[in-house]
Structure 1
């Protein structure tokens, strides 16, 4: 079997985790490989995500590295054994790139989705017409068929988390609600859709107003934290056009998580339908949204 030339994010992450564990154990590739009947070059290909590793050999490696956390062992085995196939597989020969397919697979295996956006509404909370307006303005060279594919793919991305009740927590900057690169009637319905989404028990939405003491661009770009049931395997997706958009280093992930927590404290209280008298007098996300709708 030939070596992979375009490994997925899951395959790269498995290789990175194995390399981290080997480095922590202090073993050389040759020594570690001997425990699993692997040569040093073969183990190098595994760590670089260029080839797979059988379950038995993987467990032997993990035992040699002293990895005794059963939840982590099971999660790494699951990553190794996964075929990577899902609803997104139908788009492999379409205009949808590998990065977006990696995101779909990541969402299917995550327990929570925490996102900060300050230019547009987070993808999992967008309406179809808002998506289409974004793609038409952002991809002017795309054909109508390609635009349809982009919209269909994003709608599919929304459906899977909703079915699985992936916990979604979004902090959206007020600027994203005031942008006018989509028609005003589309933006109005998009904002109303946010309120409807906030009715779901696993969706929490906060608005970060212009008037805040927190500088929202610590990392200079929007980001998403994908929580894994094993915290060590959580991933951050950074929205940038170049280099790798996926962050797996635990210390760097921690910085994004800390930043998100800071943003949630600076943002207005979550969108919550009124349940008590006088709700309209408090400063919260719903009050700001109602004001925006009035002024649109």
Structure 2
């Protein structure tokens, strides 16, 4: 099991325990007494945060919540999944701690690594999974000019490591790009031209799709909702539970993780509207290459 499975299994464990506690009508403080822990620990567990959870504690909570045998087996299986992932070690991105990652971005990296499908709508910037080193370097300099060359190179190495996920046939990547993102000259025309040719090359992978929403497209929701990424997940290996999808919204002042069903559904509906006005794969490829030729001359 992938180490990042701990992110999903922790979320699933917390969700199931919260459901049982709520159905029993118990408070977190009452659950804490039953599990011989603190209310703060119960809160962290229910939120899927990294904290120590033992089978003894979960068994005590199951007794207090009157869990069925099937529910108990599911919860204990999730504890085993969390433990197996923890023993495997931390996420690979821990090696890039010196790259001065934005606060909380390691959480996104864990979700990205665990996702089975990633759908992105980008208004102005090419998504990280498709960025060339030169494009990433230019973005980093413009975002935080005072960053040291060492930190920037660390970020570039991190981006390259992330992109190895594109080699995983079990991951599907669908990217919808605004024409503005295609035409934005990041790092100058030469860097932009190389970036665009790289996008076309990546889109030739069987599990990667890139389509463009042209300036001429009818008015659509994409102009209103802004850039976001929808992450879907496969079922967990032991418990067979499937974690709910998450919408990741990257903001300049901080990131948002949306997972309530009604929130995710709104963004999924927006993607359908954006998809409706996007060019097909061949027309998108032609547009991207035309802009690359224009900038590469």
| Matched residue, 1:139 | 144
Q: Work out the number of aligned pairs and report it.
A: 276
1:96 Cα deviation from its structure 2 partner? 2.3
Which residue of 264, 267, 271 maps to 2:275? 264
1:146 Cα deviation from its structure 2 partner? 1.3
1:243 Cα deviation from its structure 2 partner? 4.7
TM-score for the superposition, normalised by structure 1 = 0.78
Distance in 2, matches of 1:62 and 1:295, equals 64
SS in 1 for 2:223: coil
Which residue of 229, 249, 253 maps to 1:224? 229
Unaligned 5+ residue runs, structure 2?
1-5, 236-241
CA contact under 8 A between 1:13 and 1:248: conserved in structure 2?
Answer: no
SS in 2 for 1:218: helix
| Matched residue, 1:78 | 81
Which residue of 95, 98, 104 maps to 2:109? 104
CA contact under 8 A between 1:137 and 1:181: conserved in structure 2?
Answer: no
| Matched residue, 2:15 | 17
| Matched residue, 1:278 | none
Q: Does structure 1 residue 249 correspond to structure 2 residue 260?
A: yes
Distance in 2, matches of 1:160 and 1:101, equals 16
SS in 2 for 1:92: helix
Alignment of 1:129-278 (within 5 A): 129-163=134-168, 165-213=170-218, 214-219=220-225, 221-230=226-235, 231-271=242-282
Select the structure that is richer in helix.
2
| Matched residue, 2:239 | none
The change in CA–CA distance for 1:41 and 1:205 in structure 2 (over 3 A counts) is closer
CA RMSD after TM alignment: 3.3
1:27 Cα deviation from its structure 2 partner? 2.4
1:51 Cα deviation from its structure 2 partner? 3.1
SS in 2 for 1:254: helix
| Matched residue, 2:238 | none
The change in CA–CA distance for 1:292 and 1:157 in structure 2 (over 3 A counts) is same
1:59 Cα deviation from its structure 2 partner? 6.5
SS in 2 for 1:240: coil
CA contact under 8 A between 2:98 and 2:154: conserved in structure 1?
Answer: no
Please give the per-residue CA displacement for 1:3-22, whole angstroms capped at 9, x wherever unaligned: xxxxx976984686357524
| Matched residue, 2:52 | 52
Distance in 2, matches of 1:71 and 1:47, equals 15
Unaligned 5+ residue runs, structure 1?
1-7, 272-283
SS in 1 for 2:147: coil
| Matched residue, 2:289 | 290
